[in-house]
Amino acid sequence: MKKYWAEFLGTFMMVFAGTGAIIINDLYGGVSHIGIGLTFGLVVMAVIYSIGSISGAHINPAVSIAFWVAKRFETKEVLPYIGFQLLGAFLASLSLKVMFSEHEFLGATIPVDSWQQSFVLEFILTFILMFIILLLSKGSKEVGVMTGLVIGSVVAFEAIFAGPVSGASMNPARSIAPAVVSGHSTHLWLYVVATTLGAIASVYAVKLIKD
């Protein structure tokens, strides 16, 4: 159970810090859009370095599914990982709801323009992220001294440039929890489908250049 609880805690930290930065910036200012992107990147980096050796620090259902498609992750582990990731994300959003009940969206990802635009963007963002994760990992765990820094940097730069358009989710759990807790789930399917498909597509891209 240690790896499941690690995924729970890691996902909680990521959603709490990342969407918390959005909420605090909206209500009080001072964080800025770049600060939000850096918050997501830094918390992902910290989580990878802290629990990576325990669970692999997936903290993302799309990542777990892609590792499974790549045959680096056992089938019996997929649902428990996703379940605990979602539990962690929901606890984070519920905690933020209690503290900042006046905030309407709680950091939910919502397309600014058309859903088609955000769908393609989320697909490509997650493709890039998972592509790099696969190339920097061994099995279903990230390895190497610089891995956390690199993956955190990818999350940060994608959040910084794409956040104003789609919210730069790249992670179904990160989108599901705030959408459900805030009651703004109209486009939630997009952030589940596009991110998962993008992560899976990266598995085959890696095969083209490596296997």
Domain architecture of the chain: domains with CATH: 2-209 (1.20.1080.10)
DSSP state of 141: E
Region 27-35 average pLDDT:
97
pLDDT digits (tens, 9 = 90+) for 44-61: 999 999 999 999 999 999
Distance of CA 31 to the CA centre of its chain: 20
Of the chain, the end-to-end C-alpha distance in Å amounts to 32
Alpha helix locations (H) across 70-209? Answer: 75-99, 115-136, 147-166, 172-182, 188-209
pLDDT of amino acid 138:
82
DSSP state of 210: T
pLDDT at 145 over 90: no
CA distances from 120 to 48, 84, 140, 180 (A): 27, 28, 26, 23
Q: Whole-angstrom Cα distance, residue 136 to residue 132?
A: 6
Element (H, E) at 64: helix 61-69
Bridge-partner residues for 137, per DSSP? 142
Banded model confidence at residue 141, pLDDT cuts 50, 70, 90: confident
**For the chain, what's the residue count?**
211
Closest alpha carbon to 177 in 2, 3, 22, 1: 22
pLDDT of amino acid 204:
97
pLDDT at 143 over 70: no
Range of lowest pLDDT (23-27, 97-101, 143-147, 180-184): 143-147
Banded model confidence at residue 116, pLDDT cuts 50, 70, 90: very high
pLDDT at 110 over 80: yes
Whether pTM exceeds 0.85 = yes
Banded model confidence at residue 72, pLDDT cuts 50, 70, 90: very high
pLDDT of amino acid 106:
98
